[in-house]
Structure 1
Amino acid sequence: MSVIWITGLAASGKTTLAQQVAQRLTARGHIEVAAFDGDAVRRSLGAAGQGYARPQRLAVARHIAALAAGHSRDGGCAVVSTISLFHEIHAGNRAAGGDYFEVLLECAPQLRAQRLAARDAQTGPQVGHELTPEWPRSPHLRLDSGAAPVPALADALLRVWERRHV
Protein backbone atom coordinates (compact mmCIF):
# COMPACT_ATOMS: atom_id res chain seq x y z
CA MET A 1 0.00 0.00 0.00
CA SER A 2 2.34 2.75 1.17
CA VAL A 3 5.64 3.70 2.81
CA ILE A 4 5.80 6.96 4.74
CA TRP A 5 9.53 7.58 5.24
CA ILE A 6 10.31 10.24 7.88
CA THR A 7 13.97 11.23 7.88
CA GLY A 8 16.06 13.89 9.61
CA LEU A 9 18.90 14.30 12.05
CA ALA A 10 19.06 12.73 15.51
CA ALA A 11 16.63 14.33 17.98
CA SER A 12 14.60 16.06 15.28
CA GLY A 13 11.46 14.27 16.48
CA LYS A 14 11.15 11.54 13.84
CA THR A 15 10.04 8.75 16.17
CA THR A 16 7.51 10.90 18.01
CA LEU A 17 6.01 12.10 14.72
CA ALA A 18 5.94 8.57 13.28
CA GLN A 19 4.11 7.28 16.36
CA GLN A 20 1.46 9.99 16.00
CA VAL A 21 1.07 9.26 12.27
CA ALA A 22 0.74 5.51 12.87
CA GLN A 23 -1.85 6.07 15.62
CA ARG A 24 -3.90 8.33 13.36
CA LEU A 25 -3.77 5.88 10.46
CA THR A 26 -4.92 3.06 12.72
CA ALA A 27 -7.73 5.23 14.10
CA ARG A 28 -8.82 5.97 10.51
CA GLY A 29 -9.18 2.28 9.76
CA HIS A 30 -5.83 1.47 8.17
CA ILE A 31 -5.57 -1.89 9.89
CA GLU A 32 -2.15 -3.01 8.66
CA VAL A 33 -0.02 -0.14 9.95
CA ALA A 34 3.53 -0.96 11.02
CA ALA A 35 6.04 1.45 12.49
CA PHE A 36 9.72 0.86 11.77
CA ASP A 37 12.00 2.95 13.98
CA GLY A 38 15.66 3.06 12.98
CA ASP A 39 16.97 2.65 16.52
CA ALA A 40 14.58 -0.24 17.28
CA VAL A 41 15.49 -2.05 14.05
CA ARG A 42 19.20 -1.52 14.78
CA ARG A 43 18.74 -3.09 18.26
CA SER A 44 16.80 -6.03 16.79
CA LEU A 45 19.68 -6.79 14.41
CA GLY A 46 22.04 -7.38 17.32
CA ALA A 47 25.65 -7.66 16.17
CA ALA A 48 24.63 -7.07 12.52
CA GLY A 49 23.27 -3.64 13.48
CA GLN A 50 26.31 -2.48 15.41
CA GLY A 51 28.42 0.45 14.33
CA TYR A 52 27.61 3.96 13.28
CA ALA A 53 30.10 4.52 10.47
CA ARG A 54 28.69 5.03 6.98
CA PRO A 55 28.84 1.34 5.89
CA GLN A 56 27.00 0.12 8.98
CA ARG A 57 24.44 2.92 8.74
CA LEU A 58 23.82 2.05 5.07
CA ALA A 59 23.35 -1.63 5.90
CA VAL A 60 20.76 -0.82 8.57
CA ALA A 61 19.00 1.64 6.26
CA ARG A 62 18.79 -1.00 3.51
CA HIS A 63 17.31 -3.44 6.02
CA ILE A 64 14.70 -0.91 7.13
CA ALA A 65 13.84 -0.11 3.50
CA ALA A 66 13.39 -3.82 2.73
CA LEU A 67 11.12 -4.31 5.75
CA ALA A 68 9.00 -1.28 4.85
CA ALA A 69 8.75 -2.23 1.17
CA GLY A 70 7.74 -5.78 2.07
CA HIS A 71 5.02 -4.58 4.41
CA SER A 72 3.76 -2.18 1.75
CA ARG A 73 3.72 -4.91 -0.95
CA ASP A 74 1.65 -7.04 1.42
CA GLY A 75 -0.98 -4.28 1.51
CA GLY A 76 0.09 -2.48 4.65
CA CYS A 77 1.21 1.01 5.43
CA ALA A 78 4.75 1.28 6.79
CA VAL A 79 5.64 4.38 8.80
CA VAL A 80 9.42 4.68 9.03
CA SER A 81 11.43 6.97 11.32
CA THR A 82 15.13 6.86 10.56
CA ILE A 83 18.11 9.12 10.00
CA SER A 84 19.17 7.29 6.80
CA LEU A 85 20.32 10.49 5.11
CA PHE A 86 21.84 8.79 2.08
CA HIS A 87 20.92 9.60 -1.51
CA GLU A 88 21.19 5.95 -2.52
CA ILE A 89 18.60 4.94 0.09
CA HIS A 90 16.16 7.64 -1.02
CA ALA A 91 16.68 6.72 -4.68
CA GLY A 92 16.29 3.02 -3.92
CA ASN A 93 13.05 3.64 -2.06
CA ARG A 94 11.67 5.59 -5.02
CA ALA A 95 12.85 2.96 -7.52
CA ALA A 96 11.20 0.17 -5.53
CA GLY A 97 7.85 1.38 -6.83
CA GLY A 98 4.67 1.53 -4.90
CA ASP A 99 3.50 4.51 -2.94
CA TYR A 100 6.58 6.07 -1.36
CA PHE A 101 6.12 9.33 0.56
CA GLU A 102 9.29 11.02 1.81
CA VAL A 103 9.21 13.52 4.67
CA LEU A 104 12.20 15.58 5.77
CA LEU A 105 11.80 16.59 9.40
CA GLU A 106 13.92 19.61 10.18
CA CYS A 107 14.72 21.00 13.60
CA ALA A 108 16.61 24.03 14.86
CA PRO A 109 20.10 23.12 16.10
CA GLN A 110 19.40 24.60 19.55
CA LEU A 111 16.28 22.47 20.01
CA ARG A 112 18.11 19.34 18.82
CA ALA A 113 20.94 20.08 21.27
CA GLN A 114 18.44 20.36 24.13
CA ARG A 115 16.82 17.06 23.15
CA LEU A 116 20.16 15.30 22.78
CA ALA A 117 21.31 16.56 26.18
CA ALA A 118 18.15 15.14 27.75
CA ARG A 119 18.90 11.60 26.57
CA ASP A 120 21.88 9.31 26.46
CA ALA A 121 24.30 10.27 23.73
CA GLN A 122 24.89 7.68 21.06
CA THR A 123 28.43 6.48 20.55
CA GLY A 124 30.14 6.57 17.21
CA PRO A 125 30.08 9.08 14.36
CA GLN A 126 26.92 11.17 14.27
CA VAL A 127 25.28 12.31 11.06
CA GLY A 128 25.44 16.08 10.97
CA HIS A 129 28.68 16.15 12.98
CA GLU A 130 31.27 13.61 11.86
CA LEU A 131 29.24 12.29 8.90
CA THR A 132 27.84 14.65 6.28
CA PRO A 133 24.09 14.22 5.82
CA GLU A 134 22.82 13.71 2.30
CA TRP A 135 19.57 15.63 2.47
CA PRO A 136 16.73 14.29 0.33
CA ARG A 137 16.89 15.92 -3.08
CA SER A 138 13.15 16.20 -3.50
CA PRO A 139 11.18 15.22 -0.40
CA HIS A 140 7.43 15.18 -0.83
CA LEU A 141 7.10 17.24 2.35
CA ARG A 142 9.32 19.29 4.67
CA LEU A 143 8.25 19.87 8.26
CA ASP A 144 9.89 21.75 11.13
CA SER A 145 9.48 19.96 14.45
CA GLY A 146 9.86 23.20 16.38
CA ALA A 147 7.19 25.06 14.40
CA ALA A 148 4.10 23.30 15.78
CA PRO A 149 3.06 20.64 18.29
CA VAL A 150 3.55 17.05 17.12
CA PRO A 151 -0.20 16.35 16.70
CA ALA A 152 -0.46 19.32 14.32
CA LEU A 153 2.57 18.09 12.37
CA ALA A 154 1.06 14.61 12.10
CA ASP A 155 -2.22 16.09 10.83
CA ALA A 156 -0.35 18.22 8.27
CA LEU A 157 1.64 15.21 7.07
CA LEU A 158 -1.48 13.08 6.66
CA ARG A 159 -3.35 15.85 4.81
CA VAL A 160 -0.60 15.99 2.19
CA TRP A 161 -0.23 12.19 2.07
CA GLU A 162 -3.98 11.66 1.68
CA ARG A 163 -4.20 14.19 -1.19
CA ARG A 164 -2.00 11.81 -3.16
CA HIS A 165 -4.68 9.11 -2.81
CA VAL A 166 -7.74 11.07 -3.94
Structure 2
Amino acid sequence: MPTDNIHWHPVSVSREDREAGNRHKSALVWFTGLSGAGKSTVAHEVERRLHQRGCSTYVLDGDNVRHGLCVDLGFSALDRVENIRRVGEVGKLFVDAGLLVLTAFISPYREDRARVRTLFEPGRFIEVYCECPIAICEQRDVKGLYRKAREGLMQEFTGISAPYEIPQAPELVLNTGKQSIEECVSRVMRLLEERSILTADSAGPGSGPDVQ
Protein backbone atom coordinates (compact mmCIF):
# COMPACT_ATOMS: atom_id res chain seq x y z
CA MET A 1 0.00 0.00 0.00
CA PRO A 2 1.51 3.38 -0.99
CA THR A 3 2.39 5.55 2.01
CA ASP A 4 3.99 8.55 0.27
CA ASN A 5 0.98 10.72 1.10
CA ILE A 6 0.62 9.54 4.69
CA HIS A 7 2.51 11.39 7.39
CA TRP A 8 2.72 10.86 11.15
CA HIS A 9 1.11 13.77 13.01
CA PRO A 10 3.03 14.84 16.13
CA VAL A 11 1.15 14.55 19.41
CA SER A 12 0.51 17.38 21.87
CA VAL A 13 0.08 15.06 24.89
CA SER A 14 2.88 12.52 25.29
CA ARG A 15 2.83 9.05 26.78
CA GLU A 16 4.95 10.42 29.63
CA ASP A 17 2.30 13.08 30.29
CA ARG A 18 -0.37 10.41 30.54
CA GLU A 19 1.80 8.20 32.74
CA ALA A 20 2.35 11.09 35.13
CA GLY A 21 -1.41 11.52 35.44
CA ASN A 22 -1.94 7.79 35.92
CA ARG A 23 0.94 7.46 38.42
CA HIS A 24 2.21 4.30 36.74
CA LYS A 25 4.07 3.39 33.58
CA SER A 26 2.31 1.90 30.59
CA ALA A 27 3.18 -1.53 29.23
CA LEU A 28 1.77 -4.55 27.42
CA VAL A 29 1.56 -7.80 29.39
CA TRP A 30 1.19 -10.58 26.83
CA PHE A 31 -0.29 -13.84 28.18
CA THR A 32 0.31 -16.79 25.86
CA GLY A 33 -0.44 -20.49 26.17
CA LEU A 34 -2.76 -23.27 25.09
CA SER A 35 -6.53 -22.96 25.11
CA GLY A 36 -7.63 -23.70 28.67
CA ALA A 37 -4.29 -22.73 30.20
CA GLY A 38 -5.89 -19.90 32.17
CA LYS A 39 -4.70 -16.87 30.19
CA SER A 40 -7.98 -14.96 30.29
CA THR A 41 -8.71 -15.89 33.89
CA VAL A 42 -5.35 -14.62 35.12
CA ALA A 43 -5.35 -11.53 32.88
CA HIS A 44 -8.77 -10.38 34.06
CA GLU A 45 -7.92 -11.01 37.71
CA VAL A 46 -4.68 -9.05 37.32
CA GLU A 47 -6.72 -6.22 35.82
CA ARG A 48 -9.07 -6.31 38.80
CA ARG A 49 -6.13 -6.02 41.18
CA LEU A 50 -4.65 -3.17 39.14
CA HIS A 51 -7.99 -1.38 39.08
CA GLN A 52 -8.10 -1.60 42.87
CA ARG A 53 -4.81 0.26 42.90
CA GLY A 54 -6.23 3.01 40.72
CA CYS A 55 -4.41 1.97 37.54
CA SER A 56 -5.69 2.66 34.04
CA THR A 57 -6.01 -0.71 32.32
CA TYR A 58 -7.59 -2.66 29.50
CA VAL A 59 -7.74 -6.37 28.63
CA LEU A 60 -7.62 -7.47 25.00
CA ASP A 61 -9.09 -10.98 25.09
CA GLY A 62 -8.77 -13.42 22.21
CA ASP A 63 -12.45 -14.34 21.95
CA ASN A 64 -13.68 -10.78 22.46
CA VAL A 65 -11.41 -9.35 19.76
CA ARG A 66 -12.76 -11.86 17.26
CA HIS A 67 -16.25 -10.44 17.78
CA GLY A 68 -15.21 -7.13 16.23
CA LEU A 69 -11.68 -6.13 15.25
CA CYS A 70 -10.86 -9.58 13.87
CA VAL A 71 -14.34 -10.86 13.01
CA ASP A 72 -13.22 -11.36 9.40
CA LEU A 73 -10.41 -13.77 10.31
CA GLY A 74 -10.44 -17.55 10.62
CA PHE A 75 -7.89 -19.85 12.21
CA SER A 76 -5.58 -20.64 9.32
CA ALA A 77 -1.88 -19.96 9.83
CA LEU A 78 -2.12 -16.73 7.81
CA ASP A 79 -5.22 -15.55 9.67
CA ARG A 80 -3.56 -16.23 13.01
CA VAL A 81 -0.59 -14.11 11.94
CA GLU A 82 -2.89 -11.23 10.97
CA ASN A 83 -4.90 -11.60 14.17
CA ILE A 84 -1.80 -11.14 16.31
CA ARG A 85 -0.49 -8.32 14.10
CA ARG A 86 -3.69 -6.34 14.62
CA VAL A 87 -3.72 -6.97 18.35
CA GLY A 88 -0.10 -5.86 18.62
CA GLU A 89 -0.84 -2.59 16.85
CA VAL A 90 -3.90 -1.92 19.01
CA GLY A 91 -1.86 -2.76 22.10
CA LYS A 92 0.78 -0.26 21.02
CA LEU A 93 -1.85 2.48 20.70
CA PHE A 94 -3.19 1.70 24.17
CA VAL A 95 0.32 1.76 25.65
CA ASP A 96 0.93 5.12 23.95
CA ALA A 97 -2.30 6.24 25.65
CA GLY A 98 -0.69 5.47 29.01
CA LEU A 99 -2.58 2.28 29.83
CA LEU A 100 -1.45 -0.99 31.35
CA VAL A 101 -2.67 -3.43 28.70
CA LEU A 102 -3.12 -7.15 29.25
CA THR A 103 -3.68 -9.52 26.34
CA ALA A 104 -4.87 -13.12 26.45
CA PHE A 105 -4.15 -14.89 23.16
CA ILE A 106 -2.92 -18.38 22.34
CA SER A 107 -0.55 -16.66 19.89
CA PRO A 108 1.08 -19.98 18.98
CA TYR A 109 3.98 -18.75 16.84
CA ARG A 110 7.22 -17.36 18.32
CA GLU A 111 7.80 -15.20 15.26
CA ASP A 112 4.47 -13.43 15.71
CA ARG A 113 5.11 -12.74 19.39
CA ALA A 114 8.63 -11.53 18.59
CA ARG A 115 7.24 -9.20 15.91
CA VAL A 116 4.85 -7.65 18.41
CA ARG A 117 7.73 -7.18 20.87
CA THR A 118 9.59 -5.06 18.29
CA LEU A 119 6.75 -2.51 18.38
CA PHE A 120 7.66 -1.57 21.95
CA GLU A 121 10.58 0.01 23.74
CA PRO A 122 12.60 -2.38 25.93
CA GLY A 123 10.68 -3.15 29.10
CA ARG A 124 7.30 -2.20 27.66
CA PHE A 125 6.48 -5.70 26.37
CA ILE A 126 6.20 -8.41 29.03
CA GLU A 127 5.63 -11.95 27.80
CA VAL A 128 3.96 -14.28 30.30
CA TYR A 129 3.80 -17.96 29.40
CA CYS A 130 0.90 -19.82 30.99
CA GLU A 131 2.39 -23.31 31.15
CA CYS A 132 -0.21 -26.04 31.53
CA PRO A 133 -0.21 -29.71 30.41
CA ILE A 134 -2.62 -30.32 27.57
CA ALA A 135 -4.33 -33.03 29.64
CA ILE A 136 -5.33 -30.43 32.22
CA CYS A 137 -6.36 -27.99 29.50
CA GLU A 138 -8.66 -30.68 28.12
CA GLN A 139 -10.15 -31.30 31.57
CA ARG A 140 -10.99 -27.59 31.77
CA ASP A 141 -12.53 -27.64 28.29
CA VAL A 142 -15.77 -25.83 29.18
CA LYS A 143 -16.29 -24.81 25.55
CA GLY A 144 -15.91 -28.38 24.27
CA LEU A 145 -13.24 -27.28 21.79
CA TYR A 146 -10.74 -30.06 22.48
CA ARG A 147 -13.47 -32.66 22.14
CA LYS A 148 -14.48 -31.23 18.75
CA ALA A 149 -10.82 -31.12 17.67
CA ARG A 150 -10.28 -34.75 18.74
CA GLU A 151 -13.37 -35.75 16.77
CA GLY A 152 -12.11 -33.93 13.68
CA LEU A 153 -14.89 -31.35 13.83
CA MET A 154 -12.42 -28.47 14.24
CA GLN A 155 -9.39 -28.01 12.05
CA GLU A 156 -6.23 -26.00 12.81
CA PHE A 157 -6.75 -26.38 16.56
CA THR A 158 -3.64 -25.50 18.56
CA GLY A 159 -2.17 -28.42 20.45
CA ILE A 160 -4.12 -31.01 18.46
CA SER A 161 -3.93 -30.30 14.73
CA ALA A 162 -1.86 -27.11 14.81
CA PRO A 163 1.43 -26.40 16.61
CA TYR A 164 2.16 -24.29 19.67
CA GLU A 165 5.69 -22.93 19.94
CA ILE A 166 6.70 -22.55 23.60
CA PRO A 167 8.32 -19.18 24.44
CA GLN A 168 12.09 -19.48 24.73
CA ALA A 169 12.76 -16.49 26.99
CA PRO A 170 9.54 -15.10 28.46
CA GLU A 171 9.70 -12.54 31.24
CA LEU A 172 7.58 -14.84 33.42
CA VAL A 173 6.41 -18.46 33.40
CA LEU A 174 3.25 -19.30 35.33
CA ASN A 175 2.59 -22.96 36.03
CA THR A 176 -1.16 -22.59 35.72
CA GLY A 177 -1.63 -26.34 35.96
CA LYS A 178 -0.42 -26.33 39.57
CA GLN A 179 -0.42 -22.76 40.88
CA SER A 180 -3.61 -21.13 42.11
CA ILE A 181 -5.06 -18.11 40.35
CA GLU A 182 -4.13 -15.99 43.36
CA GLU A 183 -0.52 -17.14 43.25
CA CYS A 184 -0.28 -16.49 39.50
CA VAL A 185 -1.78 -13.02 39.89
CA SER A 186 0.58 -12.16 42.75
CA ARG A 187 3.59 -13.20 40.67
CA VAL A 188 2.49 -10.91 37.83
CA MET A 189 1.96 -8.04 40.24
CA ARG A 190 5.38 -8.58 41.79
CA LEU A 191 7.00 -8.55 38.35
CA LEU A 192 5.32 -5.23 37.50
CA GLU A 193 6.63 -3.79 40.75
CA GLU A 194 10.14 -5.18 40.24
CA ARG A 195 10.27 -3.61 36.77
CA SER A 196 9.01 -0.28 38.16
CA ILE A 197 5.88 -0.36 36.02
CA LEU A 198 4.03 -0.02 39.31
CA THR A 199 5.48 2.31 41.89
CA ALA A 200 4.64 3.35 45.44
CA ASP A 201 2.48 6.09 43.93
CA SER A 202 0.42 3.38 42.19
CA ALA A 203 -0.73 1.91 45.49
CA GLY A 204 -4.37 2.63 46.05
CA PRO A 205 -7.28 1.26 48.07
CA GLY A 206 -7.10 -2.49 48.47
CA SER A 207 -3.53 -2.78 47.23
CA GLY A 208 -1.56 -4.26 50.09
CA PRO A 209 1.43 -6.57 49.67
CA ASP A 210 1.41 -8.88 46.68
CA VAL A 211 3.28 -11.77 48.22
CA GLN A 212 2.41 -15.38 48.91
**Same-fold call, TM cutoff 0.5:** yes
What is the CA-CA distance between 1:28 and the residue it aligns to?
Answer: 1.1
Deviation at 1:15, TM superposition (A): 0.5
What is the aligned partner in structure 2 of residue 143 from structure 1?
A: 174
Q: 2 CA distance for matches of 1:64 and 1:97?
A: 13
The structural deviation recorded for 1:44 is: 1.5
Report if the CA contact (8 A) 2:85-2:116 is conserved: no
Partners of 1:101 and 1:161 within 8 A in 2: no
Structure 2 residue ranges without an equivalent (≥5): 1-25, 149-153, 200-212
Q: TM-score, normalised by structure 1?
A: 0.91
RMSD between aligned residues = 1.6
Corresponding residue to 1:43 among 63, 67, 88: 67
Aligned AA (1:38): G
CA distance in 1, matches of 2:139, 2:110: 28
How many residues are aligned here?
A: 163
Residue 53 of structure 1 aligns with an amino acid whose one-letter code is S
Cα distance in 1, alignment partners of residues 172 and 38 from structure 2: 15
Percent of paired sites with the same residue: 27
Secondary structure at the residue paired with 1:6? strand
C-alpha distance in 2 between matches for 1:72 and 1:149? 28
Instruction: Specify which of 69, 94, 110 is matched with residue 71 of structure 1.
Output: 94
Structure 2 residue matching 1:52: 3-state secondary structure: coil
Q: Partner residue of 1:85?
A: 108
- Paired position in structure 2 for 1:154: 185
Q: Does the 8 A contact of 1:7 with 1:14 survive in 2?
A: yes
More helix by proportion, 1 or 2?
1
Question: Structure 1 counterpart of 2:78, which letter?
Answer: P
Q: Which structure: greater strand fraction?
A: 1
TM-score, normalization by structure 2: 0.72
2:163 is aligned to 132
Classify the secondary structure of the residue corresponding to 1:48: coil
CA 1:5–1:46: 2 relative to 1, 3 Å: closer
Preserved CA contact (<8 Å) 1:38 1:64 = no
Q: Any idea what SS the aligned residue of 2:140 has?
A: helix
* Residues in 2 aligned to 1:21 and 1:132: alpha-carbon distance in whole angstroms: 28
Structure 1 residue 120 corresponds to structure 2 residue 141: no
Query: Deviation per CA, 1:42-73, whole angstroms, max 9, x where unpaired?
Result: 12136412x11111111111111111111001
Structure 1 residue runs without a partner (length 5+): none
Equivalent residues in 2 for 1:15-34 (5 A)? 15-30=40-55, 32-34=56-58
Q: Is the 8 A contact 1:85 1:136 kept in 2?
A: no
Runs of 4+ in structure 1 deviating by more than 6 angstroms, as ranges, are none
Measure, in 2, the Cα distance between the counterparts of 1:162 and 1:90: 23
Distance 1:47 1:140 in 2: 30
- Contact map agreement 1:12 1:107 (CA 8 A) in 2: yes
